[in-house]
Amino acid sequence: MAMTMTGDVTLPAHRPKVWALLNDPEVLKACIPGCESLEKTGDNGFAAVVKTKIGPVSTTFRGKVELSDLAPLVGYTIKGDGEGGIAGFAKGGAKVSLADAPGGTLLHYDVEAHVGGKIAQLGARLIDGVAKNMADKFFANFAAIAAASAAPAGAAESAAPSMAAAAPVVESPAPARATPPAPPAAPARPAPQAIPTKTSWFRRIWEWLMSLWR
């Protein structure tokens, strides 16, 4: 059974950031619903384990993913195939392209997939619904990561003017005026010494006589 999907999503990040995220295994693992592991096996190859449920059938697909037609900042083709045991198999590919858009990057994708085995018997409507739901979740997760990765730089740029405006203006202290040196203190004048008065000889006799009469 074959199915196709196409769509566009605007991501709140510039093209270089989106391109880097599209080539980051940890980011892809976090975005793919039910992805349990995504390990790099080569320059452009990955080994993947994805657990999913389609209608009443729950299964784990183990497969490989390969990137090709890489055009940096423009897009690439992603191809993969997985085996889900008795549930069946799935294989397909998607072409992803990037373009500048107001406020970020426009990502366009064209998906073509084939499923077989037990899951193919569930009907095209059910499979298409599950596939669309997984694609919506993938791009919602990817957009959230892109926004989070772009937020620090944008927040820092917007915060800088406001912080500068709110910062208190610290005025430089006025230079201290030099205080003119005090004039040297005048040397202390020695205290005037009492000039001994000379007592006359007559006064001494008079004082002696007066003392005799007391």
Measured over the CA atoms of residue 99, residue 100, residue 102 and residue 104, the dihedral's sign is positive
**CA-wise closest residue to 96 among 84, 86, 106:** 106
- Indicate whether 206 belongs to any domain: no
Amino acid in position 108: H
- Indicate whether 19 belongs to any domain: yes
Distance CA 174, CA 211 (A): 80
pLDDT at 80 exceeding the cut of 70: yes
Task: Identify the pLDDT of residue 27.
Answer: 93
**CA-wise closest residue to 59 among 79, 39, 36:** 36
Q: pLDDT band at residue 17, thresholds of 50, 70 and 90?
A: very high
* Mean pLDDT within 181-199: 46
8 A C-beta contact, residue 59 and residue 52: yes
* Mean pLDDT within 136-149: 89
- Indicate whether 205 belongs to any domain: no
**Range with lowest mean pLDDT among 45-54, 85-94, 170-179, 196-205:** 170-179
Distance CA 63, CA 1 (A): 19
Task: Identify the pLDDT of residue 158.
Answer: 44
Q: What is the chain's percent helix, strand, coil content, to nearest 5?
A: 35, 35, 30
Task: Quote the tokens at residue 19.
Answer: 């391109």
Distance CA 189, CA 75 (A): 102
- Indicate whether 22 belongs to any domain: yes
Backbone angles phi, psi at 35, to 5 degrees: -75, 120
DSSP state of 89: E
For 157-168, what is each residue's pLDDT tens digit? 443 343 334 333
* Mean pLDDT within 63-72: 93
Task: Identify the pLDDT of residue 210.
Answer: 61
- Indicate whether 187 belongs to any domain: no
Quote the number of domains for the chain. 1
Distance CA 167, CA 97 (A): 44
* Mean pLDDT within 114-139: 83
Which residues are registered as beta bridge partners of 113? 3, 92
Q: pLDDT band at residue 211, thresholds of 50, 70 and 90?
A: low
CATH number at residue 114: 3.30.530.20
* Mean pLDDT within 105-120: 88
- Indicate whether 183 belongs to any domain: no
In three-state secondary structure terms, 124 is: helix
Task: Identify the pLDDT of residue 209.
Answer: 57
- Indicate whether 124 belongs to any domain: yes
Task: Identify the pLDDT of residue 166.
Answer: 36
Domain of 68, in residue numbers: 2-155
8 A C-beta contact, residue 28 and residue 38: yes
8 A C-beta contact, residue 28 and residue 45: no
* Number of residues that this document lists for the chain: 214
- Indicate whether 195 belongs to any domain: no
Task: Quote the tokens at residue 127.
Answer: 């499979």
DSSP state of 122: G
Task: Identify the pLDDT of residue 152.
Answer: 55
More confident call, 71 vs 87 = 71
Question: What is the percent of the chain with per-residue pLDDT over 70, rounded to a whole number?
Answer: 70
